[in-house]
Chain A
């Protein structure tokens, strides 16, 4: 033991500068792991904060009846904060205009929103609302429609309220709700005086809860369901809101896991290529040690001790560098960020990165070090160790390869939180590894067999370097190829995700909706809107109806018999259904087939039911529903079940009828427009409402803006993490090329001693690196295209996009980087006087 440490120390002494170069690769790898992990944590946190702003609280608890004392007491006991809200529809009188309008009243109390902001115009309104009194904050369309100003009066029930502002943005509202009716916010305390409390139909009572840190909303929901089984409570959480935003946020999570995984493997590549080169350099020393009687174990232990020290020092330095990058980079890029992300050092990410780094360092360094055990003492007699033909595979080697595979798969599963996805990542990596390994052997073989003798000497030498003993073909092809594969996969996935996110944004989406348009008003209304500069982009007829019976059982019976399992709201509600001949761009059939046209005489009408509703009502294809269409019975059967992207602002519907059935029924229209600016929106609203006073407008501009804010954050996160990881990856790869430079020093020097010019020596290296760089880049690129397609299909569930131009540019980039780095690394060798190096290396 004593000898081992002494030898390890002494041996490191003279080559410390070189050891430093190697440890640089280790440091870079671990720094990548740490800073990527920490940035991921930042980005996740920023997005989570944004998502919390969507709900404004950790949890909504909603019921169709007042939440009793047991429920409110329980919520109060959680140690967070609770706010209350009561919502119902009511007529509002606008005395100045002498008109009536149905509004959605929100009577609120408490500190809500806990996250995000209640934004109004003017800004102070929420504070005045909380202070109480007969004040109201109105939907801006109402102000526009009735020419109201702050300070004007409106009447709810028997009480006059003073308008104190217009709603700009309020957390917790989903766009679907906003579409039902314009909103009016009043203090809860003022509700009693209106005489409306308790009389209104279909009221909803809600508690908005902020939970103490660390309390899991889903746990609270489970406990409440157990404690209050008799009360019909519904819950909403931030996670659910995130899910409703579509795949973008879930995909961001998946993407960040992928980034972490790529960082780990990049770290591994950095560490193992450095140690591999280092061990190769030590073969002569080990052989001498063996001649002097050191056992295989002893010589292994000497270098293991060095490897361990290297790993530990590298991990510490890498961790520190990661923190430095974390601290320094945001300051550099802050000005360029489209959004604000709070950058902080994530200590768990730091610990995890460093820990994973040490483990990876250990495993990856064991692999090249194992060969130390097999360096024969004979190597001291003959410097070039002949290929060891017929040597049995080292069982330790296999064991270590297996542990590396297990560690990587384990890390992937840990990162992604899903066994299948984690194993998928690891499997993809394994596949890439196999392909590249095969390629490396094929290249070495081909270089031996097929290089024409007619080629110039330097070219032949360059090719020969690919198969000669001590070649770097396998190592470089593996590290460069895998690096390219991973980095480019990340880049392509980024493109794929960004395209998807762009599709989710507001560009080209309606942001102004008119509804309650009468049958005979729709065509003139479209003309008015066009004249005002914002043509209608989409319109849909709406026929209101109620459910008469489900699968032959009448609603009355179902309601009387609570055990039927169908939620009341699905049975009682007034359905606003539409009819059309095709699916809209926001819909996708998940079961059955959409029928676009039906004959009223030909049996039950095939309708398309929205997925969520179908789940609530336990509906299956073929189930019959009888509708009461304003007095007229219509029998239908479920023909298809649709998935609807509710996050998009186009009018969406629970039930879609085919053409040919409802055309004669009394109907209204909803029309969607795109306006360029708030001023445009106000102008169109005024023009339309002036002509058609019964029509209601809802300006979705701000809702759309909120969602866009989130999507742009997600887009930024994807963009930033991808580019940062790609940049880190390139540095690690350059390091891998660099660490091997000493391997060719002796030959290069000998060639120069024999009269080769510096140009010739440089050209030989150029050929070698160009062949390796190109092969690695091309194969890595192809693997990345496949990887992107697989990830898009199985992890992100979106169509893959990969532009040939991008792939080609990336492939060319990696090839150039390899050649350039190889060239620069070689220059140091070429510039030294041969004598100096010959003496050093003997």
Chain B
């Protein structure tokens, strides 16, 4: 593994046991991503994008193969150790936002820091909310926010722990064009400011085009892996 690789995936396989027998949804996928780089994962629905992303972020266990994330061998860690890695190094943005409905916007943003037992982190949270343009909504609950606003809160939450790598699963999939556009600007803007490595799953070719690399999945296997000419 090269020194500067942030994420290295080797022969990654995921098989689900289903009522109708085992179902392999990811088949020996391999790639490597250096620190600070950005990569889009594209492919038809059901091709295994979310599965791959979830495995890379340590949200699930692979059936075979290995993942190195920020210098740690994910497949050799147990669930709680992976939770620590997620908390220290990973940010995650979901297609359906996944804010905790019972917490205010600010509280949602602060969860990763408070999980570590950090105190006095409120200013940091407000600063990030300011950065995503929602300082005024800090005390609102998710139900009081629009989809775009919720996703911006989710992005603020993903950046609060200064992650080394940010995973986004169709971050704009639930947003309209304009809102999606400003969301994309925010993602790349924050990414650049903080030197974060970025992996995102998208159907949006404009968004994919702004990444340095595009990984195509088909039926759970890597179909192609290419550099984009006009990478941001």
Q: Do the two chains bind?
A: yes
CB-nearest residue of chain A to B143: A839
In the complex, chain B residues whose CB is within 8 Å of the CB of A284: 98
Are the CB atoms of B143 and A293 closer together than 8 Å?
A: no
Q: Are A842 and B97 in contact (CB under 8 A)?
A: yes
A840 touches B143 (CB 8 A): yes
Task: List 17 other contacts, CB 8 Å, given A284-B98, A390-B17.
Answer: A2-B119, A11-B100, A13-B102, A288-B100, A292-B86, A292-B111, A292-B112, A293-B85, A294-B111, A295-B83, A376-B60, A377-B86, A378-B60, A381-B59, A386-B18, A389-B18, A839-B143
A289 within 8 Å of B (CB atoms): yes
Q: Is B84 part of the contact surface with A, judged by Cβ < 8 Å?
A: yes
> Which B residues are closer than 8 A to A by beta carbons?
16-18, 50, 54, 57-60, 79-80, 83-88, 90, 92, 94, 96-103, 107, 111-112, 114-117, 119, 141-143, 157, 161, 169
Contact with B along A97-108 (1 / 0, CB 8 A): 000000000000
Interface centre among A15, A291, A377, A389 (most CB of B within 10 A): A291
A10 touches B59 (CB 8 A): no
A242 to B97, CA, bound (A): 71
Chain B: CB-nearest residue to A842: B96
Q: Which of B18, B88, B98 contacts A291 (CB 8 A)?
A: B98
Main secondary structure of the interface of A (DSSP, over half): helix
A801 at the binding interface (Cβ < 8 Å) = no
Flag whether A3 is at the interface (Cβ < 8 A): yes
User: A389 is contacted by which of B17, B101, B115 (Cβ under 8 Å)?
Assistant: B17
Report whether A7 and B114 are in contact in the complex, using a CB–CB cutoff of 8 Å: yes
Measured between C-beta atoms, what is the minimum distance from A641 to chain B in Å? 67
A14 interface hit (Cβ, 8 Å):
yes
Contact (A295, B169) CB under 8 Å given A6-B114, A10-B102, A289-B111: no
Instruction: Classify the secondary structure of B's interface with A.
Output: mixed
| Bound Cα distance from A3 to B83, whole angstroms | 16
A291 pairs with B86, CB closer than 8 A = yes
Contact B54 A381 (CB under 8 A): yes
Interface membership of A296, Cβ < 8 A = yes
Residues from chain B with Cβ under 8 Å of A295 in the complex:
79-80, 83-84
A444 to B87, CA, bound (A): 39
Residues of B within 8 A of A377 (CB): 58-60, 83, 86
Determine whether the beta carbon of B98 is less than 8 Å from that of A288. Answer: yes
Contact with B along A674-703 (1 / 0, CB 8 A): 000000000000000000000000000000
- Docked Cα-Cα span, A294 to B58, in Å, equals 13
Whether, in the assembled complex, A400 has its beta carbon less than 8 Å from a beta carbon of chain B, the answer is no
| A292-B157, A298-B115 given; A380·B86 CB < 8 A | no
A294: contacting residue among B88, B115, B141, B169, CB under 8 A: B115
Q: Which of A1, A11, A297, A378 contacts B59 (CB 8 A)?
A: A378
Q: Which 5 A-B pairs have the closest CB atoms?
A: A293-B87, A14-B102, A293-B86, A377-B59, A389-B17
In the bound assembly, the distance between CA atoms of A102 and B99 in angstroms comes to 97
- With a cutoff of 8 Å between Cβ atoms, the chain B residues found around residue A294 in the complex are 83, 87, 111, 115
Residue A206, interface by CB 8 Å: no
The answer to whether A380 and B94 touch across the interface, beta carbons within 8 angstroms, is yes
Q: Please, how many angstroms separate the alpha-carbon atoms of A842 and B26 in the complex?
A: 29
Residues in B whose Cβ lies below 8 Å from that of A841: 101
Return A539 CB to nearest CB of chain B, in Å.
79
Distance in angstroms from B100 CB to nearest chain A CB is 5
- A14-B141, A381-B59 are known contacts. Are A293 and B102 too (CB-CB below 8 A)? no
A296 contacts B83, C-beta separation under 8 Å: yes
Whether B102 pairs with A3 at a CB distance below 8 angstroms is no
- Taking residues whose C-beta sits less than 8 angstroms from the other chain, chain A's interface range is 35 or more
Q: Is the CB of A381 within 8 A of B169?
A: yes
The A7-25 residues at the B interface (CB cut-off 8 A) are 7, 10-15
Determine the distance from Cα of A296 to Cα of B79 in the docked complex, in whole angstroms. Answer: 8
Chain A positions within 8 Å of B101 at CB level = 14, 285, 840-842
Q: Which residue, A10, A292, A380, A842, has most C-beta atoms of chain B within 10 A? A: A292
Is A637 positioned at the interface, with any CB of B under 8 Å from its CB?
no
Complex contact B98–A380 (CB within 8 A): yes
A12 to B102 alpha-carbon distance, docked (Å):
7
Chain B residue numbers with a CB within 8 Å of A293 are 83-88, 90, 112, 115-116, 161
**How distant is the Cα of A284 from the Cα of B142 in the complex, in angstroms?**
14
A290 within 8 A of B: yes
Q: A10-B107, A377-B86 are in contact. Are A292 and B59 (CB under 8 A)?
A: no
Task: Specify which of A287, A293, A380 lies most central, judged by the most chain B CB atoms within 10 Å of its CB.
Answer: A293
Q: Which residues of A have CB within 8 Å of B161?
A: 293
Interchain CB contact under 8 A, B100 and A285: yes
Residues of B within 8 Å of A3, CB to CB, are: 114-117
Residues A285 and B111 in contact, CB atoms below 8 Å apart? no
Minimum CB–CB distance for A520 against chain B, Å: 93
Q: A2 and B60 in contact (CB under 8 A), knowing A10-B102, A380-B98? A: no
Interface 1/0 per residue, A759-796 and B, CB below 8 Å: 00000000000000000000000000000000000000
By beta carbon, the residue of chain B nearest A288 is B98
Residue-wise interface mask of A (274-294) relative to B, using a CB-CB cutoff of 8 A (1 in contact, 0 not) = 000000000011011111111
Distance, CA A842 to CA B117, complexed state (A): 28
Q: Mark A191-233, 1 if CB is under 8 A from B, else 0.
A: 0000000000000000000000000000000000000000000
Write out the residue numbers on chain A whose beta carbons fall within 8 Å of the beta carbon of B84. Answer: 293, 295
